Amino acid sequence: MNKRIILSIIILLVLGIVASVTSCEENRPMTYYSAKQAFARLTLYLREHKQALPKTIWNAIPGRRAIYSHGESGVLSGIVGGWVFSYEDEQGKTRIARLKCWDEVTIQEEGTDFTKIYPRAIRLDEWVLDNTDAHRVVIAYGGESSPNNFGGWLMTVAVEGRGIRPVWAGGTWYMPDKGFLIMVDAQTGELYRPIGEKKLGPISPTHKRVDTEWNGGFDEESYDAILSGFEHYYWWPRVYQTFEGQFVYNRELLKEKLQEEQVKPHRDAASWITSGILHVVLGNWAEAIDDFEEVVKLEPENEDYRYYRGLYFLCIRDLDKAAFDFQDLPEKDRNEALGYVALFRGEKERGGMVSFMHNIPTNCGMMPWQVQIGSVPLAPYRYK
């Protein structure tokens, strides 16, 4: 590896050690918090405090993480409950932001010259895969996550034959049968590996260069897709559910549907909720903010729309806003929703709950929205 990559890894390791120490001092239970959800919270926080928004990202590092072993099975899973972003804002200032899954945001100016660490910064439009997306790409390929280092780091690296690429890296993933580390392209989903002492390259020399945006792993001919298509025909062909319960979205189709809504000359509440939900399932958490605001503005008395906006705020961890949207719901729904707020504040344990799902009607059909609460598996489930 070249000096820049080595230096960046050393710095990230140091930050990881600091994060591990501070997480030991924090007794509140963590909940799942993805990098894109945290970045959306940062975006909303900066807007509300009239501060300059991020223009580019130097890195995104998991600030808090934990590993769990599930009973006698011994199956390991991991969870990231906080993020640290180093970014350059629209005024050209370098800042570092720390966000925790309990709705805590701190921002300060950063004096580090990141041009001496990374080849370049990451443009916001080339960051497509969330950290969990990268993890699932590796799992689907047959890789696993190191039980001592769960949670990839977003950065740029030089890749042979690919140029400077945004990647999820940091020694997090490896191929157990081949003994090498894996990195995931944060825009295309292509896999990279060390190919020499100072080189990084595609995971296989025969792999054709990937120049298209990641398709979400959607495979209409897969067993999961065929089975789910029969069992959940009302989702097809927009999305299918895997045997493990994860949703695989047809990103290419949903991006087309999103654009159809966005170009409508006159948009009603149904159009805005459609685009908001599509942004969420596509991982565009920061872009979804205005859609949810607009739908409630158009129909403020619609309890479903208030609930969906509250659910959005819950996921990105603007918990005061989530509680505000939930407080006027019918008693049963209100108690359940405010229970989620208490859980995400770290005021109570999740009681084994890993996720829940809502089926939401949109202009392009029913859309499942899975809210992840607990950990994700570090290795694929293999049934003997």
Over the stretch 158-176, which tens digit does the pLDDT of each residue have? 999 899 999 999 889 999 8
User: Which of 7-11, 40-44, 51-55, 280-284 has the weakest average pLDDT?
Assistant: 7-11
Average the pLDDT over 4-30 and give the result.
48
Q: Rounded CA gap, 363 and 121, in Å? A: 37
Non-local CB neighbours of 212 within 8 Å, separated by 6+ positions: 188
The radius of gyration of the chain's CA atoms, rounded to the nearest angstrom, is 20
Query: pLDDT value at position 199?
Result: 81
Query: pLDDT value at position 56?
Result: 98
Q: Rounded CA gap, 377 and 243, in Å? A: 14
Q: Rounded CA gap, 182 and 222, in Å? A: 24
Which of 109, 99, 117 is closest to 63 using CA atoms?
Answer: 99
Over the stretch 302-358, which tens digit does the pLDDT of each residue have? 999 999 999 999 999 999 999 999 998 999 999 999 999 999 999 988 888 899 999
Query: pLDDT value at position 8?
Result: 41
pLDDT band at 17 (very low <50, low <70, confident <90, very high): very low
For the chain, which residues make up each domain, given as ranges? 3-202, 223-377
Query: pLDDT value at position 211?
Result: 84
Average the pLDDT over 260-272 and give the result.
97
Amino acid letter, residue 65: R
271: pLDDT strictly greater than 80: yes
User: Which of 24-28, 189-193, 314-318 has the weakest average pLDDT?
Assistant: 24-28
Q: Is the dihedral of CA 91, 92, 94, 97 positive or negative?
A: positive
Tokens of residue 223, six digits: 């067993």
Query: pLDDT value at position 14?
Result: 36
For residue 9, what is the DSSP state?
Answer: H
Query: pLDDT value at position 18?
Result: 37
Query: pLDDT value at position 150?
Result: 86
Please provide the size of the chain in residues. Answer: 384
Contact 57, 128 (CB under 8 A): no
For the chain, the average pLDDT equals 89
26: pLDDT strictly greater than 80: no
Over the stretch 192-248, which tens digit does the pLDDT of each residue have? 999 877 788 998 766 677 889 999 999 999 999 999 888 899 999 999 999 888 899
Q: Which residue has the higher pLDDT, 53 or 69?
A: 53
Q: What is the DSSP string of 34-76?
A: -HHHHHHHHHHHHHHTT-PPEEEEEEEEEEEEEEEEEGGGTEE
Q: Rounded CA gap, 5 and 266, in Å? A: 49
Which of 191, 189, 361 is closest to 283 using CA atoms?
Answer: 189
- The 10 Å Cβ neighbour count of residue 52 is 13
Q: Which residue has the higher pLDDT, 3 or 169?
A: 169
Non-local CB neighbours of 208 within 8 Å, separated by 6+ positions: none
The number of helix segments (H) and strand segments (E) in the chain equals 10, 16
The H or E element containing residue 4 is helix 3-24
> pTM of whole model > 0.85?
yes
CATH 1.25.40.10 is right for the domain spanning 223-377? yes
Average the pLDDT over 134-155 and give the result.
91
74: pLDDT strictly greater than 80: no
Q: What is the DSSP string of 264-329?
A: -SS--HHHHHHHHHHHHHTT-TTTTHHHHHHHHHH-TT-HHHHHHHHHHHHHHT-HHHHHHHHTTS
Assign 258 to helix, strand or coil.
helix
Query: pLDDT value at position 381?
Result: 59
Query: pLDDT value at position 9?
Result: 40
Assign 255 to helix, strand or coil.
helix
96: pLDDT strictly greater than 60: yes
Q: What are phi and psi of 76, to 5 degrees?
A: -95, 145
382: pLDDT strictly greater than 60: no
144: pLDDT strictly greater than 80: yes
pLDDT band at 64 (very low <50, low <70, confident <90, very high): confident
Query: pLDDT value at position 1?
Result: 39
Non-local CB neighbours of 124 within 8 Å, separated by 6+ positions: 54, 55, 56, 57
54: pLDDT strictly greater than 50: yes
Query: pLDDT value at position 15?
Result: 40
Query: pLDDT value at position 196?
Result: 78
Contact 137, 145 (CB under 8 A): no
